[in-house]
Amino acid sequence: MRSGTADGTIGLTRSPNNDGFIKISVKDQGIGMTKEQIDKLGSPFYSLKESGTGLGMMVSFQIIRNLQRKVRINSEKDVGTEFSIYLPMI
């Protein structure tokens, strides 16, 4: 599924993985992030938004970790970012 935004396109895909997980990916065509920025994601009070607190990302990462699941982030500056969440197949 793709959804158009004023700043680009957001893609949402799901696919089975060979290790018994389903991969859910959200990909945008935004400004992207550097490796240093990605490494700081999930830290309390770290946000790339002017009015952001960083707490939403921190809580989301903690929920995923508590469920013993994985998140992978791929990003390229000025190209976009992809968040992939791996959930077990039922």
Cα 9 to Cα 29: distance, rounded to the nearest angstrom: 6
Phi, psi of 3 (to 5 degrees): -130, 125
pTM: 0.78
Q: Quote the number of domains for the chain.
A: 1
CATH of the domain at 51: 3.30.565.10
26, 75 contact by CB (below 8 A) = no
CB contact set of 58 (below 8 Å; sequence gap of 6+) = 42, 43, 44
79, 29 contact by CB (below 8 A) = yes
| pLDDT, tens digit, 9 for 90 and up, residues 35-84 | 999 999 988 888 888 888 889 999 999 998 888 888 999 999 999 999 99
Domain containing 9 equals 2-88
Cα 23 to Cα 46: distance, rounded to the nearest angstrom: 26
pLDDT at 50: 84
Grade residue 7 by pLDDT with cuts at 50, 70 and 90. low
Grade residue 89 by pLDDT with cuts at 50, 70 and 90. confident
